[in-house]
C-alpha cells in the first residue's frame, strides 16, 4: 500500500482556493435594467415639463393680450403732476342715524366677554362685564355694521339687538360657558 489516497481536486486558477469552485461571474443585467428605467423616467418627466412649460407660455400670452386689451379700453384720468391725493374723509351725516340697543341676559351675573360694534361700526370689547348688560349707540354710517356677541360663565345666555325700536335679532345659547352671537342689517 502506498499510503492514503486523497481525492483529486481540479487544478484551480491562480489565486483560487483549493477545494472550492471559482466564484460566479457577476451579471451586469441588473445595472442595465436600472439604467433603462432611469432613462425612461427622465424622458417621461422631461416630456411633462416641456408640455407644461408650453402650456404656461400660452396662458401667459393670453393674459398679456387680455391685459393690453383692458388697458387700451379703460378711460384714463388726467394726470396732474405734483398734485397730492387728498385723504379720505367721512361723508357728512344725513341725520338719519340708526338708534341701536344691544342687550345681554344670562343665568350667571358674570360674563367672560361682550363684543359689539359701536356707533362708528368699530369693533369694541368689554371683558368681565356683568349681566344684564345693555349698551345704546347711534350709528350715522351709510351702512351700519351691527353685531353683538357674548360668553357667559353660566350655562345660558341671550343676546338681543334693537334697531330704531324694533327687535332686529335675538338668539339664545345654552351649555357650560355658552357663547351667543346676534347680527342685524341696517341700510
Q: In the prediction, which pLDDT does 169 show?
A: 93
Pairwise pLDDT comparison (37 vs 44), residue with the higher score: 37
* pLDDT the model gives residue 104: 94
What is d(CA 58, CA 26) in angstroms, rounded to the nearest whole number? 51
Q: What is the pLDDT of residue 18?
A: 61
Compute the distance between CA of residue 115 and CA of residue 18 in angstroms, rounded to an integer.
94
Mean of the per-residue pLDDT values for the chain?
77
pLDDT at 39 over 60: yes
The C-alpha cell 342687550 sits at: 103
Within the chain, strands assigned E span: 98-106, 111-117, 123-127, 133-139, 144-152, 156-163, 166-174, 179-186
Strand ranges of the sheet holding 133-139, from the earlier edge strand across to the other edge: 133-139, 98-106, 156-163, 166-174
Residue pair 187/143 in contact (Cβ under 8 Å)? The answer is yes
Which grid coordinates are listed for 102? 344691544
**What is the tens place of the pLDDT at every residue in 77-106?**
555 566 676 765 555 555 678 899 999 999
Neighbouring-strand partners of residue 105: 158
Amino acid at each position: 500500500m502506498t499510503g492514503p489516497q486523497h481525492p483529486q481536486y481540479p487544478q484551480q486558477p491562480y489565486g483560487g482556493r483549493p477545494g472550492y469552485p471559482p466564484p460566479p461571474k457577476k451579471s451586469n443585467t441588473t445595472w442595465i435594467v436600472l439604467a433603462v428605467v432611469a432613462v425612461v423616467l427622465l424622458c417621461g418627466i422631461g416630456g411633462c415639463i416641456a408640455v407644461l412649460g408650453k402650456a404656461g407660455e400660452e396662458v401667459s400670452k393670453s393674459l398679456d393680450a387680455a391685459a393690453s386689451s383692458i388697458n387700451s379700453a379703460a378711460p384714463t384720468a388726467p394726470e396732474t403732476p405734483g398734485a397730492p391725493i387728498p385723504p379720505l374723509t367721512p361723508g357728512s351725516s344725513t341725520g338719519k342715524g340708526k338708534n341701536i340697543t344691544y342687550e345681554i341676559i344670562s343665568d350667571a351675573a358674570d360674563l367672560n366677554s361682550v363684543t359689539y360694534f359701536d356707533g362708528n361700526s368699530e369693533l369694541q370689547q368689554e371683558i368681565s362685564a356683568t349681566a344684564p348688560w345693555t349698551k345704546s349707540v347711534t350709528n350715522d354710517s351709510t351702512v351700519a355694521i351691527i353685531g353683538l356677541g357674548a360668553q357667559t360663565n353660566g350655562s345660558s345666555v341671550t343676546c338681543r339687538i334693537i334697531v330704531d325700536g324694533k327687535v332686529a335679532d335675538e338668539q339664545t345659547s345654552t351649555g357650560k360657558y355658552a357663547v351667543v352671537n346676534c347680527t342685524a342689517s341696517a341700510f
